[in-house]
Amino acid sequence: MKIKGAGLSQIKITGGFWKEYQELIFQEVIPYQWEILNDRIEGAEKSFTIYNFSVAAGRIQGPHKGFVFQDSDLYKWLEAVGNMLQIREDPEMEEAADWTIDLLEQTQEKDGYLNTYYQIKEPEKKWTNILECHELYCAGHLMEAAVAYFKGTGKRKILDIACRFADCIVEKFGKEEGKLHGYPGHQEIELGLQKLYDLTGNKVYQDLAEYFLEERGRNDFFEEEFKNRNCISHWTNAVEKEPNKVYNQFSYKEYNQFHLPVWEQTKAVGHAVRALYMYTAMAHLAEEKEDEDKLQVCRKLWENIVCRQMYINGSVGATVSGEAFTRDYDLPNDTNYSETCAALGLIFFSQELFQAEGKGCYGDIIEKSLYNTVLAALGRDGRHFFYTNPMEMNPYFAKVNPERYHLKPQRPKWHACACCPPNIARTIADLGKYIFGEDDSTVFVQIFAQSSGEFFRNGKSVKLDTKTEYPWDGKVCIQVLGDLETKIALRIPGWCRQWKAEINGKPLKDPEVLNGYLYLSYKGEKLQIELTLEMMPVLMQANPKVAYNLGKAAIMRGPLLYCIEEKDNGARLGELYIKDKAEILTENGEKEILLKVEAVRKTSSIQDGLYYEYCTTKQETWLTAIPYFSWGNRGEGEMLVWIKKE
């Protein structure tokens, strides 16, 4: 089964929840990030991105500044602009993007090479530290940006830049004699090359993506490269014992996912973003090749993540040490990393598997990660961003404990390592492809949003017009019009215990449900579908193997995870217990639905000394819970997802 996500020109988000977020991206986030990239926001971490390109292009003089992968921030911003321009016109941002693309063209070398770090700082060392220095990673993001911008504008300049760089890399890497028999330290280019192939049809790009995957873990390239640079690490600028910093107790081979050939891997290990970008590329290739054995490997990796290594908010990566997975069921709440880019990577991976198999479980994870991690990382003003997404927060300990310093009680204006903010922008701008999908016989409704989508087949078309207040309300109304006979598949979310459907005002009898989708036949007549998903607040527990959550519950309503904050419930949230058989009430907030939960507070006495005899008082109370994605928008304070259960 080959399903493709809908093209952005086919889809229009017309109102409701996601219209507000896309408008936030278009009106606030993209312009704000342009100012950031130019270092014009007072009090924010410096980006140095436009500065570095200006130096490399010879427009100004100076040293390279920032990280070795700084170029990628600009490429992701350009991709966000390209995605936006597929939906709407924005002459000001298009002009800024065109100016930037001219700068890229001026920076690019005659052989196609483009990387400001090496062009400015170490031109003699290009391609000598593939493991640590992100040359291929940055190139991959350039390719993705080029495809998006060409689709949005029809302008070839950035596409030609990306193809020249891709051709340069094709000449440098491969199985042939005289080429480097290596593969990326940080996976990403595999995705960019495949998108470039999909657009241009130039098979050498797909072949190189396949080579990078197939070669990984099959040779000693990184070790040989390490010896050739006299065992000096980029990150420490000193001689080291191994060809990368040692992260946590696991090997650098696991950290970079070359401990085994990729098709022999069955468990997610190492740096979470690298892993998920690689798994996404693997799934895309397996789908393209229609290779069931390789798809089965991808399924096993996905199941290992979502069944054993994923937080309830759809985030992954349990440890700050290497931004990495650890092992099954190790999901601490107060030190977890849960990088925003890793949640986005899980969305990308799940989308590829959905397109290969058409199963609703993948849409469930896309929805979970999208609502509960990606949106949590984005401030309501579009100008503040979380890099990490903890399950609990105590601002005091986050500031004084070095093991928790990665956790921020409020979203910063920017980050020195800023991979996440432009990643959010490009993905929400690209949301249409997650809302709908289609194959030769079926239109899939995957994410419920107030939207319209038109689909064409054999000279005929069908249009779906959706009205809904989801995720606050479970009613989804879809009007279908057109002359194309097709099946329509509506995802029945895994969280939904009861649902009903009406067709043209009459209850649907004997519904056809397969792989998590309700299938309906459309034969050209007017069709009105009303799907009602029951949205009752539910207390969730973790598998007892997740020892951190024993005796605790989390609250969900529909697709949304909830949390409690000090702002509503007072300090020392750890004193609160949800009552046995607690009543949970819904309450309308300013922009969201709040929950009121029956609880008790067991207050400990405060006495002199550090330790003393146990003594508490018990008082009945009500908790106020807010959507997790809203936390941290009202000033510093404690936050808690997993709450003790009486």
Q: What is the pLDDT of residues 367-414, one digit of tens each?
A: 999 999 999 999 999 999 999 999 999 999 999 999 999 999 999 999
Q: Rounded to an integer, what distance in angstroms lies between the CA atom of residue 516 and that of residue 361?
A: 7
CB atoms within 10 A of CB 138: 27
Distance from the Cα of residue 236 to its chain's centroid: 29
Q: What is residue 182's predicted lDDT score, i.e. its pLDDT?
A: 96
Identify the burial level of 92 via C-beta atoms within 10 angstroms of its C-beta, where 0-12 means exposed, 13-18 middle and 19 or more buried. exposed
Rounded to 10°, the helix 16-24/420-429 angle is: 130
The pTM of the full predicted model, rounded to 2 decimals, is 0.97
Query: What are residue 322's phi and psi, to 5 degrees?
Result: 85, 10
Task: Go through 236-247 and write b for each residue having 16 or more CB atoms within 10 A of its CB, e for each that does not.
Answer: eeeebeebbeeb
Domains of the chain: 246-401 (1.50.10.10), 435-533 (2.60.40.1180), 538-645 (no CATH)
**Bridge partners for 642 per DSSP:** none
Q: What is residue 590's predicted lDDT score, i.e. its pLDDT?
A: 84
Question: Considering only CA atoms, which of 376, 568, 540 is closest in space to residue 576?
Answer: 568
Token pair 């093209």 is found at 7
**Residue 53 host element (H or E):** helix 49-56
Average confidence (pLDDT) per 10 residues, the chain, 646 residues: 85 96 98 98 96 98 97 98 97 98 98 98 97 97 98 97 98 96 97 97 98 97 95 91 76 94 97 98 96 97 98 97 95 97 98 97 98 98 97 96 93 96 97 95 97 94 97 98 96 97 94 96 92 97 98 98 98 96 93 96 90 92 98 97 97
Is the peptide bond prior to 402 cis by the omega test (within 30 degrees of 0)?
A: no
Q: What is residue 256's predicted lDDT score, i.e. its pLDDT?
A: 95
| Contact between residue 64 and residue 120 where contact means Cβ atoms under 8 Å apart | yes
Task: Go through 328-367 and write b for each residue having 16 or more CB atoms within 10 A of its CB, e for each that does not.
Answer: ebbbbbbbbbbbbbbbbbbbbbbbbbbbbbbbbbbbbbbb
Question: Considering only CA atoms, which of 47, 15, 229 is closest in space to residue 132?
Answer: 229
| Contact between residue 387 and residue 272 where contact means Cβ atoms under 8 Å apart | no
Q: Which residues are catalytic?
A: 323, 419
Report DSSP letters for 594-620, one per residue.
Answer: EEEEEEEEEEEP--SSS-----EEEEE
Would you give the end-to-end CA distance of the chain in angstroms?
48
- Give per-residue pLDDT as tens, 428-440: 999 999 999 999 9
Task: Go through 44-53 and write b for each residue having 16 or more CB atoms within 10 A of its CB, e for each that does not.
Answer: bbebbbbbbb
**Bridge partners for 43 per DSSP:** none
